[in-house]
A and B are shown apart, each in its own frame.
Chain A
């Protein structure tokens, strides 16, 4: 055995089969109900994120169908104003808080460790805790909606409408508390991703050799760190205004209604970039693989990502041009909003240049990326129009804006997400998705989307405001709304095709193998689906496209123990091996802590004392979670976070 101080280490002296058997036993996550709640395997937690976020996407999609059905005819009596307000608020809140951010974070939780070439995510128990908090937040909101306590003041709930005076009952409180849940979960995952990318990259993967997907996830996480506290502060202040009589937003007592808009949109605009930037990472991975060429202009792409990250924080006031702010201030935000079109334009150019020089192979993922480019660029250009103050005075809060943000969010995030699904499904399940069904899925989505949302540009120009539960005849809006309804039906069919493809391929999809697309990045260097420890040996990275450099053998490092869970920490800049970090074992306590925190949040809606007394159970649960268990080893003990 190897000469090191204790335990058996992997290397030439152990056969591959022997190494694998020992690692399987050491890293076993267990079976059964207890293991289900106690697992800390980042892949299992990520799969739960995918499934839960997709269920919320599907539910919110049904609400969208209901909205279009109600608006298909003028003066339609199908849905009353009270129910319609709940439906459009739930559609917006679910898509933004319960689908978009969690699915992107789930993607990061699954693929960041794999692409970094490490064995687990940093702080695996915190990762499990973050999923349960997210799940409880989503369940709370949808149970409230089922009990007719769904929020009805819009997904950004402007005060004073969402304030105590004009929103009776507990509806907006449940919305504000849902934000506390999802942001807590989002912040936790952001910390994990930053720590994983900075400290756990495979030896040799210096910052300039990191795949663009990791860069995008890093920028997303930093944006989350600095954006989400703003909405947590704002929603706490709103819930205090509503429940304990503070006056943050009460103009009569020195507060200000616009304070809510400033705080919310300081988070709101970075939020849409938090959703959009990971999509850039997905597109870069897909384009590079399917054109069989490294991305054109890697340094320019990285700088563009970072530029979007910073600029995203400087233009929130373009949501408030019509509130009568001084014109000089607003024109600054016009310039800032225009400037952000430059890095996006550069990125689009670089992808097309990659296709230009590469040999594109139009499998479904690349089809969806082409769809992304066609739709997102149009959305970006309508964004440039909305950035101008005078233009926004006419277009703000109309269906033109609804068309714009669906083009940039559905086009800019959902299309790349579906491309990512077709691209990484083989790695997650070991089977390929059906290509023919994929093409049908793409074309129905592409045509349905444009049929549904392009007419909304004209509806906006024809003066149709947002969030109306009905409209009277004779305003010229009838035909276009009917067209939009047809489009949304087609999108519904496309989503069903996607579900069929996802479910059917689980059993009937062709066997994928380790690297079906001949892709360059490290997640394709291990088997599909990857074992709980991801890599039998930690890879050594010598170029930014490892699997294209080494086609026969993968250079790896030996020396990690096979009978103790550990991985290697590397230095931040050029990833030189630094520390052998032990990895946490499965534990039920993150799940119990999440329940305690959830009960505290929900109880605090009904009595402010819950914040004081409700904090005790979570404190106890988290202490037990962190308290080291078992007898301490000789030199290093197992960690707890």
Chain B
């Protein structure tokens, strides 16, 4: 009998000390995902061949679930979103999308997504290209960079954890984007993510 209670007491002590450890690990997982720097692309992201297809059904190639799972890895990660913003400037996406406010290309800041707003849908849009002028970058940009671009584009729309979102840009804020000031995503979000 005594041993049982002894066991009981020891269990409660252990469970009590487990609680803070559990909380800490949860915090750790959340935090360190945002801060991890993956330099090498995750395995299996070979260069997706350029093809013109309007539906999700793809013979061979990447399955939808695999892509969704990959998207998770890029979505909340601050490093990938920061790299995505740099690539947005490097590959002159701002030429048509004008830093998210929209020009000849559609605005990326608002909540209207013609071809789907999830990260893997944006990834497919960039890989396959879309009618009315969106070029297919499938063979041209390595898929890790496309994932980074997709993560950044989603953050421009205010999705994804605010703490991971890249801060103000270091380039001149073009006054022409004044228009986007009056569609704030949410008042607390710093306006910086739009330039």
- A243→B167 contact, CB < 8 A: yes
The interface residues of chain A lying within 8 Å CB-to-CB of B35 are 147-149, 169-171
- A170→B78 contact, CB < 8 A: yes
The interface residues of chain B lying within 8 Å CB-to-CB of A246 are 168
Could you tell me the distance between the alpha carbons of A71 and B81 in the complex, rounded to whole angstroms?
Answer: 31
Q: Does A160 contact B (CB under 8 A)?
A: yes
- A245→B32 contact, CB < 8 A: no
- A164→B170 contact, CB < 8 A: yes
- A164→B168 contact, CB < 8 A: yes
B169: which of A148, A165, A170, A609 is its contact (CB, 8 Å)? A165
A82: which of B37, B171, B192 is its contact (CB, 8 Å)? B37
Q: Does B21 contact A (CB under 8 A)?
A: no
The interface residues of chain A lying within 8 Å CB-to-CB of B34 are 149, 169-170
Residues 20-60 of chain B, each 1 if its beta carbon lies under 8 Å from chain A, else 0: 00000001100110111100000000000000000000000
The interface residues of chain B lying within 8 Å CB-to-CB of A147 are 27-28, 31-32, 35
* Interface residue count on the A side (C-beta < 8 Å): 30
The interface residues of chain A lying within 8 Å CB-to-CB of B166 are 164-165, 168
Interface residues of A in 139-189 (CB under 8 A from B): 144, 146-149, 160, 163-166, 168-171
Task: Tell me how far the C-beta of B195 lies from the nearest C-beta in chain A, rounded to whole angstroms.
Answer: 9
- B168→A168 contact, CB < 8 A: no
Q: Does A20 contact B (CB under 8 A)?
A: no
Q: Does A47 contact B (CB under 8 A)?
A: no
The interface residues of chain A lying within 8 Å CB-to-CB of B168 are 164-165, 241-242, 245-247, 250
- B164→A169 contact, CB < 8 A: yes
Q: Does A607 contact B (CB under 8 A)?
A: yes
Could you tell me the distance between the alpha carbons of A163 and B169 in the complex, rounded to whole angstroms?
Answer: 10
Q: Does B13 contact A (CB under 8 A)?
A: no
Could you tell me the distance between the alpha carbons of A253 and B192 in the complex, rounded to whole angstroms?
Answer: 12
For B79, the closest partner residue in chain A by CB is: A168
Q: Does B92 contact A (CB under 8 A)?
A: no
Interface size class of B (residues with CB under 8 A): 20 to 34
Interface residues of A in 522-541 (CB under 8 A from B): none
Q: Does B82 contact A (CB under 8 A)?
A: yes
Q: Does A608 contact B (CB under 8 A)?
A: yes
Interface residues of A in 552-600 (CB under 8 A from B): none
Could you tell me the distance between the alpha carbons of A250 and B35 in the complex, rounded to whole angstroms?
Answer: 24
- A244→B190 contact, CB < 8 A: yes
Q: Does B63 contact A (CB under 8 A)?
A: no
Could you tell me the distance between the alpha carbons of A169 and B162 in the complex, rounded to whole angstroms?
Answer: 10
With contact pairs A148-B36, A243-B190, A244-B190 given, residues A169 and B170 touching in the complex (Cβ less than 8 Å): no
Q: Does A252 contact B (CB under 8 A)?
A: yes
Interface residues of A in 227-252 (CB under 8 A from B): 241-247, 250-252
For B81, the closest partner residue in chain A by CB is: A168
Q: Does B172 contact A (CB under 8 A)?
A: yes
Q: Does A606 contact B (CB under 8 A)?
A: yes
The interface residues of chain A lying within 8 Å CB-to-CB of B28 are 146-147
- A168→B78 contact, CB < 8 A: yes
The interface residues of chain B lying within 8 Å CB-to-CB of A243 are 167, 190
Q: Does B188 contact A (CB under 8 A)?
A: yes
For B30, the closest partner residue in chain A by CB is: A147
- A250→B170 contact, CB < 8 A: yes
- B167→A242 contact, CB < 8 A: yes
A148: which of B31, B163, B173, B188 is its contact (CB, 8 Å)? B31
Could you tell me the distance between the alpha carbons of A247 and B37 in the complex, rounded to whole angstroms?
Answer: 27
For B83, the closest partner residue in chain A by CB is: A168
Could you tell me the distance between the alpha carbons of A147 and B27 in the complex, rounded to whole angstroms?
Answer: 8
Q: Does B191 contact A (CB under 8 A)?
A: yes
For B164, the closest partner residue in chain A by CB is: A169
Interface residues of B in 141-195 (CB under 8 A from A): 162-164, 166-173, 188, 190-192
Task: Tell me how far the C-beta of A602 lies from the nearest C-beta in chain B, rounded to whole angstroms.
Answer: 12
B31: which of A149, A160, A247, A250 is its contact (CB, 8 Å)? A149
- A170→B163 contact, CB < 8 A: yes
For A169, the closest partner residue in chain B by CB is: B78
Task: Tell me how far the C-beta of B92 lies from the nearest C-beta in chain A, rounded to whole angstroms.
Answer: 18
The interface centre, meaning the residue of B28, B31, B163, B168 with most chain A CB atoms within 10 A of its CB, is B168
Interface residues of A in 111-147 (CB under 8 A from B): 144, 146-147
- A245→B167 contact, CB < 8 A: yes
The interface residues of chain A lying within 8 Å CB-to-CB of B188 are 607-609
The interface residues of chain B lying within 8 Å CB-to-CB of A241 are 167-168
The interface residues of chain A lying within 8 Å CB-to-CB of B32 are 147-149
- A160→B170 contact, CB < 8 A: yes
B172: which of A148, A253, A608 is its contact (CB, 8 Å)? A253
Task: Tell me how far the C-beta of A175 lies from the nearest C-beta in chain B, rounded to whole angstroms.
Answer: 13
- A253→B81 contact, CB < 8 A: no
Task: Tell me how far the C-beta of B20 lies from the nearest C-beta in chain A, rounded to whole angstroms.
Answer: 12
The interface residues of chain A lying within 8 Å CB-to-CB of B27 are 147
A252: which of B31, B36, B82, B171 is its contact (CB, 8 Å)? B171
Could you tell me the distance between the alpha carbons of A244 and B188 in the complex, rounded to whole angstroms?
Answer: 9
Task: Tell me how far the C-beta of B166 lies from the nearest C-beta in chain A, rounded to whole angstroms.
Answer: 6
- A606→B192 contact, CB < 8 A: no
The interface residues of chain A lying within 8 Å CB-to-CB of B163 are 170, 606
Could you tell me the distance between the alpha carbons of A118 and B68 in the complex, rounded to whole angstroms?
Answer: 69
Task: Tell me how far the C-beta of A470 lies from the nearest C-beta in chain B, rounded to whole angstroms.
Answer: 15
The interface residues of chain A lying within 8 Å CB-to-CB of B191 are 245
Could you tell me the distance between the alpha carbons of A243 and B166 in the complex, rounded to whole angstroms?
Answer: 9
The interface residues of chain A lying within 8 Å CB-to-CB of B172 are 252-253
Interface residues of A in 465-488 (CB under 8 A from B): none
For B193, the closest partner residue in chain A by CB is: A245
The interface residues of chain B lying within 8 Å CB-to-CB of A168 are 78-79, 81-82, 164, 166
Could you tell me the distance between the alpha carbons of A44 and B43 in the complex, rounded to whole angstroms?
Answer: 56
Could you tell me the distance between the alpha carbons of A187 and B148 in the complex, rounded to whole angstroms?
Answer: 44
With contact pairs A244-B190, A245-B192 given, residues A165 and B36 touching in the complex (Cβ less than 8 Å): no
Residues 186-228 of chain A, each 1 if its beta carbon lies under 8 Å from chain B, else 0: 0000000000000000000000000000000000000000000
Could you tell me the distance between the alpha carbons of A606 and B37 in the complex, rounded to whole angstroms?
Answer: 20
The interface residues of chain B lying within 8 Å CB-to-CB of A244 are 190, 192
- A165→B167 contact, CB < 8 A: yes
The interface residues of chain A lying within 8 Å CB-to-CB of B78 are 168-170
Task: Tell me how far the C-beta of B171 lies from the nearest C-beta in chain A, rounded to whole angstroms.
Answer: 5
Could you tell me the distance between the alpha carbons of A246 and B31 in the complex, rounded to whole angstroms?
Answer: 25
- A252→B167 contact, CB < 8 A: no
Task: Tell me how far the C-beta of A29 lies from the nearest C-beta in chain B, rounded to whole angstroms.
Answer: 29
Task: Tell me how far the C-beta of B95 lies from the nearest C-beta in chain A, rounded to whole angstroms.
Answer: 19
Could you tell me the distance between the alpha carbons of A169 and B190 in the complex, rounded to whole angstroms?
Answer: 14
Task: Tell me how far the C-beta of A162 lies from the nearest C-beta in chain B, rounded to whole angstroms.
Answer: 11
The interface residues of chain B lying within 8 Å CB-to-CB of A250 are 168, 170
Q: List 12 A-B contacts (CB under 8 A).
A: A82-B37, A148-B32, A149-B35, A164-B169, A165-B167, A166-B82, A166-B170, A168-B79, A168-B164, A170-B34, A250-B168, A607-B188
Chain A interfacial positions (CB closer than 8 Å to B): 82, 144, 146-149, 160, 163-166, 168-171, 241-247, 250-253, 606-609
4 interchain residue pairs of minimum CB distance: A164-B167, A245-B192, A168-B82, A169-B78
Supplied contacts A144-B31, A149-B31, A164-B169, 11 more A-B pairs, CB within 8 Å: A82-B37, A148-B32, A165-B169, A169-B35, A169-B79, A169-B82, A170-B163, A244-B190, A247-B168, A250-B170, A608-B190
